[in-house]
Amino acid sequence: MKIEVLGCSGGMGKDEYTTCIRINDQLLIDAGSGLGCLSQQEMLKIKHVFLTHAHMDHICFLPLLLDNLFEQLTSPLQVYGLGDVIDALQSHVFNWSIWPDFSKLPSPDNAVLHFNQIEVNQQFQLDNIALQAITAQHVVPACGYVVRDSLGGVFCFSGDTRFDEQVIAAYNQLGVIDVLMLECAFPNRLSEVATKSQHLTPSALRDFILALDMPPRDLWITHLKPSVREEIWAELMELNLPVTVHLLRSGDTFFLEHNRCAPKS
Ligand SMILES: [Zn+2]
Ligand SMILES: [Zn+2]
């Protein structure tokens, strides 16, 4: 499984792009500003977009993607999300005021955008990739995703979430996780803000990892707010977690196989 981190920042700035993960060239998890790093040809290969939630940093380039591809798409772009996520996109983004409703263009019978409402735990098989929505607890309805390929590699992305027993229970049902990509938006000093916005701090992230029956082989850290990146990273390094910890950067590419995950050389 090829996993490209097009964006993984909790904010914006030079070389900072928000959440967008591309898997095997044709599937995206979230459509943050990292999506803008793709060429037109690469965008055309995208067939499926799975959304964790409707917050701006995770959906902001979806409207522009559809605009870019409008003339060239021969089949609709399939966009998947929880019912509340689809509702939010239809009400607040693709509403003709903020952006055209591409789910009705060029005509309702032949539209370039198709919304697919999903449920937590629902599973999808797309070519040699199996995808499952997994529970997350955030300030708005949200989920994460578990991605498995035919070679046995297991990649989990938490989306935006707080530490929560329900979330842990869901992860503990998964068995072996090769790579867990977990957010850590705020330093411990801002734990009150993290609690209110339902994000993780290093301290909450440690609780998350230690509550897992089986820690993941690799832990990828994502969604750091740029202004406090160094502070969060220093706190994470002090934790001495029983896993290999990697601070993700936009542009990172990995080839994941079961028991092996190699960065692109
Ligand atoms: Zn969020
Ligand atoms: Zn976010």
For residue 180, what are the domain limits? 2-263
What's 232's domain CATH number? 3.60.15.10
The whole model's pTM is what? 0.96
Distance 14 CA to ligand 2 centre (A): 18
pLDDT of residue 144: 98
Distance 108 CA to ligand 2 centre (A): 31
Distance 223 CA to ligand 2 centre (A): 7
Per-residue pLDDT tens digits for 242-253: 899 999 999 999
Residue for token pair 């902001």: 60
Distance 265 CA to ligand 1 centre (A): 32
pLDDT of residue 264: 59
Distances (CA, A) of 40 to 46, 65, 86, 139, 240: 10, 9, 25, 34, 42
Per-residue pLDDT tens digits for 134-164: 999 999 999 999 999 988 899 999 999 999 9
Distance 12 CA to ligand 1 centre (A): 15
pLDDT of residue 156: 98
Distance 58 CA to ligand 2 centre (A): 6
H or E stretch including 41?
A: helix 40-44
